Amino acid sequence: MKEELYEMELFYAIVLYGKYRDIAQVIDYIKNFSDVKVVFDKKAPFKLYITEKPLKGGD
């Protein structure tokens, strides 16, 4: 199965949450509801690439 990569704009979520330095807490909040791997795009600091974690043991 091809791993699909989803781009999620979190800029507004971060603004609503509060301060930019709290981005780690925003990510932790997302991880509470999603089984995801979060990767920062250093060229676009307000974009994160979110992909499902592979299942342990494979398909």
2 DSSP 8-state letter: P
Can you tell me the distance from the alpha carbon of 20 to that of 38, in angstroms, rounded to the nearest whole number? 17
- Residue-level pLDDT at 1: 41
The pLDDT of residue 5 is 46
H or E element, residue 39: strand 36-40
* Terminal C-alpha separation, the chain: 9
pLDDT at site 30: 72
Task: Tell me what pLDDT residue 17 has.
Answer: 46
- The pTM score is 0.32
- What residues have CB less than 8 Å from 7, skipping those under 6 apart? 47, 49, 50
Tens of pLDDT, residue by residue over 12-45, are: 444 444 555 566 676 777 777 666 666 665 665 5
